[in-house]
């Protein structure tokens, strides 16, 4: 027993010492962020490529639609704020963009594995992770060419400095839609069997960037997908044991945890395979589930209640859309107090929840190694 206590104390001391040493080295001073992901971090890609995301999306912070699936900022926006960089322009957005300090390749509906269906069927983006990496490769190559050809400082002012790609922060938040597709098309046994390939494809994306000079990686695991209110929109009676104590779909969350365990193991292997990389695994699941299961004490309303959209009985009018009920026109509008909401539209988080989660992950409380994002460039 004494030995066990000593081992625990030693482990805690080493973790604290590790964080203290890193913080004593000073912040990383990232010149740019390059993000890859889905709607959890899309700042305008899918909105520019297909149908623009309508009001009341964006009404809170931006006071207009901003290409984000929320009433305001996403976790990637809070990451940018934390490392003192501007909000990321979407790579696919052709107007009002500035790529001097990075670019965002994420699009709503993106998956890690390429899917054989169109966005018009189930909302799955054609820009899967492998395509996002191809876009990054092209972006980097063209940047270097244009920077070399630029004749004035003004021409170069909206381009990344080529030498800074190696010093940038590379963030990943993707995988949730792979689970959504799996729940729709596959048995749980088939999903379990597919997980190694899914996480290997994410690892391949990280390796690709490493081979092109990237060294600092911040990788989010997937959210508690079973806690999305949309899961219960079409299910009026749930059998005993279907929901957990927080009201979330139990087997969906178990699958998310299985994915996360596989991802964490793969990240640990990546650290060996990429010896010069600093790779941080971020347990977004634990942070979000912690908020959902303790919503009232954290100042939020029922986590399974949505803020935007009209979903009553069998009438479903999504946020920002117009529909009819009993012959009357109904708008899927926003609630009066989004700041007390966790779910914005049944699938995506409200800004207040994104802010809460960001505050709890960016300081290193839910990361492996336990490092604040401002010091994530230092190897553990």
Catalytic residues: 39, 345, 348
Q: What is each CA distance from 350 to 36, 92, 377, in whole angstroms?
A: 20, 24, 29
List, in order, residues 6 or more apart from 320 with CB less than 8 Å away: 53, 54, 55, 56, 57, 308, 332
The residues that bridge with 282 in the sheet, in sequence order, are 220, 367
Crossing angle of the two packed helices 351-361 and 75-82, in degrees rounded to 10: 50
Per DSSP, 323 falls in state E
Which helix or strand (DSSP H or E) is residue 184 part of? Answer: helix 176-185
Burial-class residue 49 by CB neighbours within 10 Å (0-12, 13-18, 19+).
middle
Radius of gyration over alpha carbons of the chain, in Å? 21
What tokens appear for 323 in the block? 């529909």
Contact present, 36 and 174 (Cβ < 8 Å): yes
Pairing state between β 216-220 and 33-37: unpaired
Q: What is each CA distance from 273 to 174, 196, 261, 264, 354, in whole angstroms?
A: 21, 17, 19, 14, 32
What tokens appear for 172 in the block? 């990943």
d(CA 14, CA 11): 5
Q: What is each CA distance from 328 to 56, 163, 206, 227, 322, in whole angstroms?
A: 21, 59, 51, 31, 10
Burial-class residue 380 by CB neighbours within 10 Å (0-12, 13-18, 19+).
middle
What tokens appear for 101 in the block? 């300090």
Pairing state between β 315-318 and 309-312: antiparallel
Supply angle C-alpha 169, 259, 167, rounded to 5.
10
């Amino acid at each position: 027993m004494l030995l066990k206590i000593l081992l625990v104390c030693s482990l805690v001391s080493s973790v604290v010492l590790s964080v203290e040493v890193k913080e004593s080295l000073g912040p990383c001073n990232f010149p740019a962020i390059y993000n890859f992901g889905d709607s959890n971090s899309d700042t305008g890609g899918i909105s520019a490529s297909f149908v623009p995301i309508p009001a009341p999306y964006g009404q809170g912070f931006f006071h207009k639609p901003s290409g984000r699936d929320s009433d305001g900022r996403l976790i990637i926006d809070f990451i940018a704020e934390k490392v003192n960089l501007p909000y990321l322009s979407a790579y696919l957005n052709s107007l009002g963009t500035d790529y001097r300090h990075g670019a965002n390749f994420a699009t709503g509906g993106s998956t890690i594995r390429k899917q054989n269906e169109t966005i018009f069927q189930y909302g799955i983006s054609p820009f899967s992770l492998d395509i996002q990496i191809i876009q990054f490769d092209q972006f980097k190559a063209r940047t270097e060419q244009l920077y070399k050809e630029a004749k004035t400082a003004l021409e170069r002012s909206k381009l990344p400095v080529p030498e800074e790609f190696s010093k940038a922060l590379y963030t990943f938040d993707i995988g949730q839609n792979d689970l959504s597709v799996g729940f729709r098309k596959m048995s749980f046994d088939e999903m379990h069997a597919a997980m190694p390939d899914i996480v290997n494809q994410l690892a391949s994306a990280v390796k690709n960037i490493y081979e092109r000079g990237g060294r600092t990686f911040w990788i989010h695991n997937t959210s508690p997908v079973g806690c999305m209110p949309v899961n219960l929109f079409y299910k009026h009676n749930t059998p005993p044991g279907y929901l957990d104590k927080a009201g979330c779909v139990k087997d969906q969350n178990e699958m998310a945890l299985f994915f996360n365990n596989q991802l964490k193991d793969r990240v640990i292997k990546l650290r060996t395979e990429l010896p010069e990389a600093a790779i941080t695994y971020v347990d977004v699941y634990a942070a979000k589930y912690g908020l959902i299961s303790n919503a009232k004490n954290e100042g939020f309303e029922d986590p399974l209640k949505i803020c935007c959209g009209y979903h009553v009985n069998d009438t479903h009018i999504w946020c920002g859309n117009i529909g009819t009920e009993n012959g009357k026109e109904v708008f899927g509008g926003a609630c009066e107090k989004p700041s007390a909401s966790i779910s914005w539209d049944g699938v995506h988080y409200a800004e207040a929840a994104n802010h809460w989660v960001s505050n709890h992950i960016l300081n290193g409380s839910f990361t492996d190694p336990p490092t604040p994002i401002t010091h994530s460039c230092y190897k553990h």
